[in-house]
């Protein structure tokens, strides 16, 4: 990796990003010329109907997938120029993921699930325990540390997933439909935590089709058919879905 870029550069910079999938002779384009920037400390919502390309965009942003064409720079670094080891380091240490399906390990305790990302670091075991305890207190489930995920409600499982995503103090938190499997009360609990994290300086990109929560964002971007609609502010180009 090169030296740190100037702080005034966007944390996320995408230019003319496309993503296509091919099955036999048929090519399907999921993303079609995406231009996107996210600055440090922003809370950005990417909003749109199912199938518009939101999750594919987030997967590319989180280095879980690669674009077919276009330029993607993370914190000033062109991703296409990075070694696989550097991509893995960014993905593991600088990007926190929260998924709709929680993705917790069922035969591990809540504490062990949150600690799991830290096991790949050089952090001492005592420091790991302190960090996990701090995170569980922050999300309000310190009393569930010994429980397994299956013993928790969906809302509490998502709070565990958020604590795990924050374990390595990521530069950005990417949340893909984090309320999609939750009832309204649990969804509100998760979104309240995202709001608190943002108030504390965390950079967040939230993908959702739930209109209840878009007002929390600094910026709202409407996606439709693999494109960010003109003007990028939610509602500037098309109506609410």
Task: Map out the domains of the chain with their CATH numbers.
Answer: 40-64+93-228 (3.40.50.300)
CA 159 to the chain's CA centroid: 14
Digit-coded pLDDT (tens) for 191-239: 889 999 999 999 999 998 888 888 888 999 999 889 987 544 444 433 3
For residues 75 and 142, what is the distance between their CA atoms, to the nearest angstrom? 33
Q: What is the pTM of this model?
A: 0.86
Q: Name the residue with higher pLDDT: 240 or 58.
A: 58
Which pLDDT score is estimated for 119? 85
Digit-coded pLDDT (tens) for 58-98: 999 999 999 999 999 999 999 988 899 999 889 988 999 99
Helix, strand, coil percentages (3-state) for the chain, rounded to 5, are 35, 25, 40
pLDDT at 7 over 60: no
Structure tokens of 96?
A: 């926190």
Per-residue confidence band for 184, with pLDDT thresholds at 50, 70 and 90: confident
Question: For the ranges 25-29, 53-57, 96-100, 174-178, which has the lowest average pLDDT?
Answer: 25-29
């Amino acid at each position: 990796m090169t030296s740190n870029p100037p702080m005034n550069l966007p944390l996320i910079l995408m230019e003319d990003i496309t993503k296509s999938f091919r099955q036999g002779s048929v090519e399907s384009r999921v993303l079609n010329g995406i231009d996107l920037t996210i600055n440090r400390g922003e809370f950005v919502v990417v909003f749109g109907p199912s199938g518009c390309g939101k999750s594919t965009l987030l997967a590319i942003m989180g280095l879980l997938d690669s674009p077919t064409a276009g330029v993607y720079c993370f914190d000033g670094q062109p991703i296409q120029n990075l070694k696989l080891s550097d991509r893995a380091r960014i993905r593991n240490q600088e990007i926190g993921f929260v998924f709709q399906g929680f993705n917790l390990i069922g035969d591990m305790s809540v504490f062990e699930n949150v600690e799991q990302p830290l096991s790949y670091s050089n952090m001492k075991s005592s420091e790991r325990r302190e960090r996990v305890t701090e995170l569980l207190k922050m999300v309000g489930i310190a009393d569930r540390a010994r429980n397994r995920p299956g013993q928790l409600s969906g809302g509490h499982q998502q709070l565990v997933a958020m604590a795990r995503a924050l374990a390595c103090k990521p530069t950005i938190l990417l949340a893909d439909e984090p309320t999609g499997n939750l009832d309204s009360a649990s969804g509100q609990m998760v979104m309240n935590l995202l709001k608190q994290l943002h108030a504390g300086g965390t950079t967040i990109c939230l993908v959702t089709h739930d209109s209840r929560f878009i007002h929390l964002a600094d910026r709202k971007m409407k996606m439709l058919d693999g494109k960010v609609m003109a003007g990028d502010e939610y509602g500037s180009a098309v109506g609410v879905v």
